Each structure stands twice: as C-alpha cells, then as structure tokens.
C-alpha cells in the first residue's frame, strides 16, 4: 500500500493531497472534494463552492464558526495546548501526579493510555485509521510508525493541539500520518472508510455527543473497531464534583456526561457490538466492533 508522504530530511514535505481527497466529503454540503495545489486549498463539487485551506501541512476541514459549547471547549483547549496539556495528562511532575490523583483518585490509567493505540491498531484490517482527538499526539504519535499496514488520519478541532502533534511527526520518520483539523460532529470523511477508530480522552469533551457518536460509527467500516477512553460519572463523588462541575465550567468537559450504562447503550443502539469495557476509577476504557459482517 502506498503511504502518505509526510516528511523529508528537512522536516517539511507536501502531503499527498490528491490521495487524501479520496477519503473526503465536504463538511458543509456532503459533496465530493478536490485539491487545488496553486492556492493550497480543498474545494467541493457542490452547487455552492466551499473552500478549506491547508496551512503548515494541516488541512483545516471545519465548516462554520465556533458557537455555544463548542466555542467554550475550543478556547479551553487552545489555552492548554502543548506542553501544559502533556504535563497534566501524563503526570510528568510530582505536582502533576498529585493533581491527577486529586481529580481521578489514581494514576494507574496513564500507562494504559500509552498502550491503547498499539492494542487497537494491531487488531484492525489494513487501511485507514482515524485517531480523534489526537491532542498533542503525546499518547499515540510514537506508535504510528510501528503500524506499517495502516494510514493514520490524526484529527482534532484545536489548531494548537495539531501544531504540537505536527512537531512530533516531523521529528520521527513517519510516512503514514496526515493531520486534519475536523469537527467530530461533522466529519469530513466518506461513509465506512476507516478500519479502526481511536477516540482517547475526547468523548467527555464533545459538545454534541449523540451526533459525534453517529459520525464516528458512520465513517467506520462494518467489522471495524471503535475504541477509546474517557471520563464517566457516577463512579467517584469527588471526581464528579471537581471534573464534572468545575471542569465543565472551564470548558474542558461538556455536559451531559455519560455513565457507563448510558454509553454502552448508546453504542449498541448505533450498531456497535461485542463491547468490552474496563473501569479505572472514573476512567472508562472500551472497545467494540461495528455490525455488518458475518458473526458481528
């Protein structure tokens, strides 16, 4: 399988945009997409022309302005994008680990986050794999080059997060990754194109969770694997108070927050079966497969 061309010795390389267009549909009208190299942008084939720019190897395929909850979430993550986010998410210092323990009651889930992509991707058919939200790539970027049978689309709504992820991709010799700015509630991808999807630490922040789940299942191939991790309510009172209330006010989380039972039910209603879940305090790890092939 020919890989997406992401890197040169100088660290900057043009993406194979013509190949990427085969995955895309216009997030505004659903029409087909084509790339215009002279102006470094994508445009759709619909009756109304919608254009989307490419800047610093990040294709921005978001339609519309931030509104309501999305505006609050966007501002919150732009403020902490980069090293600040990574320190808190990984418990990099003693202070960060104390904060993590206060919020979640444990740090035991952090090593599992680093292992997730490998365990999920190795169980997927060769093809395209969606990592959304990729964040800064701190948990997943190191695994991309270890999965030669997959082409990764690393997507996030936050431009700041994607720029941090791009730094990691440029350092390593990746040839199978492309960065896309995308809204999970209006994904710019055609139906059933991904053999696997990882959504790590994102579902609790998605402003429109039902639509986001609809979209994730829509772009997943029948038999494809959907997996991830996120905060659920009802497991630890202090976490619900600190994260569910204060975190929501800061924009890092969006209400309503799922319980495990509500989330499992939501996936099953959308045709994701064979669900496996594991809780570490208030963090839920899950995986399942989309119906549509014999035995699923």
Percent of the residues in the chain that have a pLDDT greater than 70, as a whole number: 91
The confidence score (pLDDT) of residue 174 equals 61
The residue-averaged pLDDT of 277-281 equals 96
Cis peptide before 256 (omega within 30 of 0): yes
Longest dimension (CA), the chain: 56
Stated as kind and residue range, the H or E segment containing 166 is helix 159-171
How far apart CA 101 and CA 91 sit, in angstroms, is: 9
Question: For the domain with range 68-290, which CATH number is right: 3.40.50.720, 1.10.10.10, 3.40.50.300, 3.40.50.150?
Answer: 3.40.50.150
The confidence score (pLDDT) of residue 254 equals 87
Higher pLDDT, 252 or 82: 252
The model's pTM is 0.90
283-290: strand order across its sheet? 33-36, 41-44, 51-55, 58-60, 177-181, 150-156, 127-131, 194-200, 220-231, 283-290, 272-280
pLDDT bin (cut points 50, 70, 90) of residue 67 is low
Q: Is the pLDDT of residue 6 over 50?
A: no
Max mean pLDDT range (10-19, 95-104, 256-265): 256-265
The confidence score (pLDDT) of residue 12 equals 40
The residue-averaged pLDDT of 115-132 equals 93
The confidence score (pLDDT) of residue 71 equals 73
Which stretch of 10-24, 144-158, 209-223, 259-273 has the lowest confidence by average pLDDT? 10-24
The confidence score (pLDDT) of residue 172 equals 66
How far separated are the first and last CA of the chain, in Å rounded? 27
């Amino acid at each position: 399988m020919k890989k997406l061309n992401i890197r040169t010795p100088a660290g900057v390389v043009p993406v194979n945009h013509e190949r990427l267009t085969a995955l895309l549909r216009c997030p505004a009208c659903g029409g087909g997409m084509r790339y215009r190299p002279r102006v470094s942008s994508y445009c759709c084939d619909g009756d109304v022309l919608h254009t989307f720019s490419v800047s610093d190897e990040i294709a921005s395929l978001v339609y519309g302005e931030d509104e309501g909850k999305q505006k609050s979430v966007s501002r919150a993550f732009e403020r902490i994008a980069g090293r600040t986010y990574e320190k808190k998410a990984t418990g990099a210092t003693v202070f960060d680990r104390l904060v993590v323990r206060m919020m979640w009651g444990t740090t035991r889930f952090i090593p599992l986050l680093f292992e997730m992509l490998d365990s999920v991707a190795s169980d997927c058919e060769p093809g395209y794999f969606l990592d959304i939200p990729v964040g800064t790539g701190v948990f997943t970027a190191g695994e991309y080059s270890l999965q030669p049978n997959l082409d990764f689309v690393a997507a996030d709504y936050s431009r700041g997060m994607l720029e941090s992820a791009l730094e990691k991709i440029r350092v390593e010799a990746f040839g199978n990754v492309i960065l896309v700015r995308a809204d999970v509630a209006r994904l710019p991808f055609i139906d059933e194109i991904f053999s696997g999807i990882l959504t790590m630490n994102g579902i609790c922040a998605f402003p429109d969770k039902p639509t986001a789940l609809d979209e994730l299942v829509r772009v997943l191939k029948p038999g494809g694997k959907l997996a991830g991790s996120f905060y659920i309510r009802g497991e630890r009172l202090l976490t619900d108070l600190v994260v569910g209330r204060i975190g929501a006010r800061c924009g890092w989380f969006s209400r309503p927050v799922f319980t495990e039972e509500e989330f499992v039910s939501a996936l099953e209603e959308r045709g994701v079966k064979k669900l496996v879940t594991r809780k570490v305090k208030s963090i839920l790890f899950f995986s399942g497969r989309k119906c549509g092939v014999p035995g699923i």
